[in-house]
Amino acid sequence: MPEIEYALSIKQPWATLLVNGIKTIEIRSWPTRHRGIVYVHAARQPVRSESVWKLVPESLKEQAHHLGGIIGVAELIACRTYETQLDFARDRDHHCCDPSVFRRPLYGFVFANAHPVPFHPCPGWLRFFRIDHKGRRGK
């Protein structure tokens, strides 16, 4: 596997759903050209919506409460643009978001080959951030 240099901070439980393959598209308000292997960082602040937490299987509840650190690795393979609510709704099984949250445009970071790794505390950052081979945020 190539050396991983970047991480993306994602709020829990979305991060856990992604590294376990339940969610394969991460929704953002900005596009990216970045492709390749990235660490998945669980943000310090979780999602507050109870409906999102209901998506977490019982077997993943403990992992979904890890905050402020690396919880997995995934390969970013594409970035989709959602211009309409209908397009957004068609991918619901992949991003797990309610179509009512759609606002134009949204972007879907498509991930593959995701898997969890042992939790490693690490400060996050907005957007992609550099990380060293020991899982520490770079400068």
Contact predicate 131/6, CB 8 Å = yes
Identify whether 118 is preceded by a cis peptide bond (ω within 30 of 0). no
pLDDT per residue over 97-135, tens digit each? 999 889 889 999 999 999 999 999 998 888 899 986 555
Residue 79 in tokens: 């970035």
pLDDT per residue over 19-32, tens digit each? 999 999 999 999 99
Mean pLDDT of the chain: 92
Q: Is the pLDDT of residue 61 over 80?
A: yes
Q: Residue 21: which of 46, 55, 47, 67 has the closest Cα?
A: 55
Please report where in the chains the tokens 């240099």 appear, as a residue.
5
DSSP three-state, residue 69: strand
Q: Is the pLDDT of residue 94 over 90?
A: yes
pTM for the model: 0.90
Could you give all domains of the chain from N- to C-terminal order, each with its CATH number?
6-130 (2.30.130.30)
